[in-house]
Amino acid sequence: MPIDGNGFELGGYTRPDSTQFNELPAHVWPTTARRRSNDEENPGSVEIGGVSLVDIAKEFGTPVFVVDEQDFRSRCRSMAKAFRGAENVHYASKAFLSKTIARWVMEEGLHLDVASGNEMAIALAAGFPAKDMTFHGNNKSTAELRDAISAGVGKIVLDSRSELRRLSQVAAEAGVVQDVLVRVKPGVEAHTHEFIATAHEDQKFGFSLASGSALEAANLVEEDDNLRLIGLHCHIGSQIVDSDGFILAAERVFSLVERLVERHGTEISKHFNTLDLGGGFGIAYTAGEQPLDVAPLADEILTAVDKLAQRIGIETPTVAVEPGRAIVGPSMVTVYEVGTLKDVTIDEGMTRRYVSVDGGMSDNIRPALYGSNYDGRVVNREVSGSRIPTRVVGKHCESGDILINDANYPDDIVEGDLFALAATGAYCYAMASRYNMLTRPPVVSVCDGQVTQILRRETVQDLLSLECETPR
Ligand code: LLP
């Protein structure tokens, strides 16, 4: 039986049983999510962090992002355990960043990956120590490099020859020796969507291992008085659920370490001590998927790196990683309100119900951009209708504004219901737009029965405040 985008069996859309639809798959939803059987006003409604999503919708309106603080923190801790130290885990702030998130990351002892001057500025405003940040990007401006150096950013990941030259100059002007890693593209084809695979040759990131340009860049840094080569970096892609690519990348990157040791001697390992393997650990978006099991992968990587280091007689470098999605992705949900419903004939005798919600591609572009699937549930009550083919869509002016493309949902979802998508923590708010002049939703955190707004909803005044008076 084929499985739909939400892990349900397709093929019998009149099946009366919808108990499955009321379940919240534990590997997809935040760990504290559960249905409230004893809620008198809203029996069967969902709570996260002890707070009812119905109450959150009443207080903050919809759409609203809800992040489970306990879930977020526990993912930080498991990642730190897997990689033998919180400082070896650099949370990729591009997945989702706010001052509160930066503070949680800091309190958990993790370091931070920033990929723009503004990500750095938000983290600094939260009091995140610059020395614990790694600065990324394929096209960092000289101004960003200057800001990073004057803030005292710990590590800068070099991505091009031009940047190498400019960074050396900026460091010299500031009178500092800057720690850097060289980003290598190891030529690994990651099994993921083309747009988020980043280690093959024909893409914009890093120095090629195969062509020798990575070795050339590393040698240049090693010989530069203003820069100190502390390691190599690679990131094979994102939302990867099998471990082979990571191991292969580690081995390939290590072949470059070998070349460096041949040229500069084992002495180099006095300062050359980091192998940063980037992020990319995949999560489960729907009931039928399984997340990448990071702990055994970490063991495998660490053992492999240890062996490789012994073989060439250097100290084992620290293995660092940069997970974004695997930390924040499953911690967050988006709650929408259901609006219009429309039954559309799609084939002879077949109809599809279009369930519209009050957000869409402006708060979650991922289905439209990558064809991503999501797990959606009614969260203000339990539903019990027969299954019918359903598509969940947003309110934007284009038909590609789809959140859940093809599901078999109960037919008693009605206007006014609250409908939530799970695992929306990574790259949803972060990639939000203001299409159709919709304003970005608020983000609230929940923990131990308390709700705290961490980002407010944008207002039309925010939009108007960007307008400049122009001469008539
Ligand atoms: N490190 C580097 C250098 C990266 O480029 C990225 C992601 C990460 C770490 C974090 O990867 P993660 O652990 O979150 O997979 N917008 C896409 C994902 C783009 C990822 C960009 N780089 C999406 O929505 O799937």
Q: What is the 3-state secondary structure (H, E, C) of 308-337?
A: HHHHHCCCCCEEEECCCHHHHHHHEEEEEE
Mean pLDDT of the chain: 93
pLDDT at 22: 95
With residue 117 as reference, give the H or E element that holds it.
Answer: helix 117-125
Distance CA 278, CA 157 (A): 11
The yes-or-no verdict on residue 193 having pLDDT over 70 is: no
Tell me the CA distances in angstroms from 163 to 118, 207, 260, one per residue in order: 19, 12, 21
Tens-place pLDDT, residues 352-373: 999 999 999 999 999 999 999 9
Ligand 1 contact, 291 CB (< 6 A): no
Least confident range of 6-20, 104-118, 427-441: 6-20
The yes-or-no verdict on residue 405 having pLDDT over 50 is: yes
Ligand 1 contact, 91 CB (< 6 A): no
Mean pLDDT to the nearest integer, 282-307 = 95
pLDDT band for position 348 (50/70/90)? confident
CA of 236 from ligand 1 middle (Å) equals 9
pLDDT band for position 269 (50/70/90)? confident
Q: Among 112, 235, 238, 289, name the best residue to mutate to test ligand 1's pocket (greatest count of ligand atoms within 8 A of Cβ).
A: 238
Annotated binding site: 280, 322-325, 366, 370, 398, 427
CA of 430 from ligand 1 middle (Å) equals 11
Distance CA 309, CA 231 (A): 13
Mean pLDDT to the nearest integer, 8-37 = 77
Which alpha helices (H) appear in 152-293, and where do they start and end? 161-174, 213-222, 244-264
Cα atoms in the Cβ-side hemisphere of radius 13 Å centred on 272 = 24
Query: Residue 351's Cα: distance from chain center in Å?
Result: 35
Which candidate in 76, 397, 428, 468 is catalytic?
397
The yes-or-no verdict on residue 104 having pLDDT over 70 is: yes
With residue 113 as reference, give the H or E element that holds it.
Answer: strand 111-114
Tens-place pLDDT, residues 220-252: 999 999 999 999 999 999 999 888 889 999 999
pLDDT band for position 195 (50/70/90)? low
Ligand 1 contact, 117 CB (< 6 A): no
pLDDT at 423: 98
Ligand 1 contact, 324 CB (< 6 A): yes
Annotated binding site for substrate: 325, 366, 370, 398, 427
Q: Residues 6 or more apart from 401 whose CB is under 8 A from it? A: 360, 361, 368, 393, 394, 395
Structure token pair of residue 71: 């879930």
Mean pLDDT to the nearest integer, 84-102 = 98
10 or 392: which leads in pLDDT: 392
pLDDT at 7: 45
The total number of residues shown for the chain amounts to 472
The yes-or-no verdict on residue 10 having pLDDT over 50 is: no
Identify whether the C-beta of residue 22 lies closer than 8 Å to the C-beta of residue 35: yes
CA of 355 from ligand 1 middle (Å) equals 30
Query: Residue 199's Cα: distance from chain center in Å?
Result: 18
The yes-or-no verdict on residue 196 having pLDDT over 90 is: no
Percent of the chain whose predicted confidence (pLDDT) is above 90:
88
pLDDT at 11: 44
Ligand 1 contact, 113 CB (< 6 A): yes
Ligand 1 contact, 280 CB (< 6 A): yes
The yes-or-no verdict on residue 382 having pLDDT over 60 is: yes
Mean pLDDT to the nearest integer, 99-124 = 98
Mean pLDDT to the nearest integer, 322-345 = 98
196 or 141: which leads in pLDDT: 141
Q: Where are the beta strands (DSSP E) in 115-266?
A: 133-135, 155-158, 178-185, 207-208, 227-233
pLDDT band for position 197 (50/70/90)? low
Strands 318-320 and 274-276: parallel
Tens-place pLDDT, residues 442-460: 999 999 999 999 999 999 9
The yes-or-no verdict on residue 6 having pLDDT over 50 is: no
pLDDT at 15: 46
CA of 323 from ligand 1 middle (Å) equals 8
397 is catalytic: yes
Structure token pair of residue 266: 């084992």
The DSSP secondary-structure symbol of 435 reads G
With residue 443 as reference, give the H or E element that holds it.
Answer: strand 443-447
Q: Residues 6 or more apart from 203 whose CB is under 8 A from it? A: 185, 197
Other beta carbons within 10 angstroms of residue 156's beta carbon come to: 25
